[in-house]
Amino acid sequence: MREPEHIVNFRCLGGLKNKEGRVIRSGVLLRCGALIKASDSDLDLLANGYRVRTVVDFRSDYEVEMAPDRMIPGARYLHMPLIDSNGEVWKEIFKNDDADPLDMLIRYADRPQVQAFARQMYMDLGLGDGAVPAYAKFMRLVVDNEDGAILWHCSQGKDRTGMGAAFVLAALGCDIDTIVADYDLSNFQYSSKVRELCDRMGVTDIEVKKVIQTFAGANVEYFRMGLDAICSRYGSLLDYLHKCFGMTDRDIETMRNRYLI
């Protein structure tokens, strides 16, 4: 099936294999960036081609207000913010600046606190008090989804969306390398932007480059660090799903029966 033309970083998890060689069904587990630029044709494709029935938006209240999704006909929309809606993280780092948070992070990529935030981001998404309850609700939706496709997204469709995909893939029995490879596909979308920013800013420092890679692209090193931190604390991603999200063996079996062939 063709992909929407005006939705950034869209892809389907269909075709990926788990450790047992089973394959994820096509067209039912979808990830992407925000839907603000979706065309009428895109919305029709998602509604009637992919049969999207549930949309999960991981963005903050601020992001949703500034760039509201276009609604997919027939789909329920669920807002599950993973970052404090009042932007406390941004306010702490940039106390006297009202610019866009992403622009600020790139502009101040040489600041030690910004570099620390970049290194810690995926760990916070996996282990932070604000993110875990939202991801638990999201996974419950994936388990209980009986009709049509489920689509989840954030702004760029790579970080918050990528961790959501990691948990889905882990539940379906995929290994870490498969999970990281799916995350890394975002660099096909964003690698040119990262190069352009580094060239325009004359960046030579490796730590500054890593910050820009994290926020303007997809930083595989830091993403894997986040997954490793989860596994170090809980033993494995599957154990994490059980202990942090309350998922049962029956939930895992339900997902695998529903989404694998």
pLDDT tens track for 203-220: 899 999 999 999 999 999
Asked if residues 217 and 184 have their Cβ atoms less than 8 Å apart, the reply is: no
Residues 91 and 71: their CA atoms lie apart, in Å, by 31
In a domain, residue 35? The reply is yes
Write down the mean pLDDT value for the chain. Answer: 92
Answer yes or no: is pLDDT of 239 > 50: yes
Alpha-carbon distances, residue 215 vs 30, 113, 168, 234 (angstroms): 22, 14, 23, 27
- The three-state secondary structure class of 76 is strand
Q: Where are the beta strands (DSSP E) in the chain?
A: 11-12, 29-32, 52-57, 76-79, 149-153
Residues 35 and 8: their CA atoms lie apart, in Å, by 8
Asked if residues 52 and 148 have their Cβ atoms less than 8 Å apart, the reply is: yes
Task: Locate 143 and state its tokens.
Answer: 């388990």
Answer yes or no: is pLDDT of 200 > 80: yes
In a domain, residue 42? The reply is yes
Predicted TM-score of the model (pTM):
0.93
Residue 101 φ/ψ, nearest 5 degrees:
-55, -45
In a domain, residue 210? The reply is yes
- Per DSSP, what are the bridge partners of residue 151? 30, 55
> What is the domain count for the chain?
1
Q: What is the CATH number of the domain that holds 21?
A: 3.90.190.10
Query: Angle, to 10 degrees, between the axis of helix 220-234 and the axis of helix 206-216?
Result: 80
Structural domain that includes position 81: 11-259
The pLDDT of residue 154 is 96
Query: 10 Å Cβ neighbour count for 98?
Result: 6
Across 26-47, average pLDDT: 98
In a domain, residue 130? The reply is yes
In a domain, residue 1? The reply is no
Query: Angle, to 10 degrees, between the axis of helix 237-245 and the axis of helix 132-144?
Result: 100
In a domain, residue 6? The reply is no
In a domain, residue 82? The reply is yes
Q: CB neighbours of 84 closer than 8 A, spacing ≥ 6?
A: 60, 130
The pLDDT of residue 95 is 59
In a domain, residue 179? The reply is yes
pLDDT tens track for 64-119: 998 999 999 999 999 999 865 444 555 565 555 556 667 777 888 999 988 998 99
Residue 78 φ/ψ, nearest 5 degrees:
-125, 125
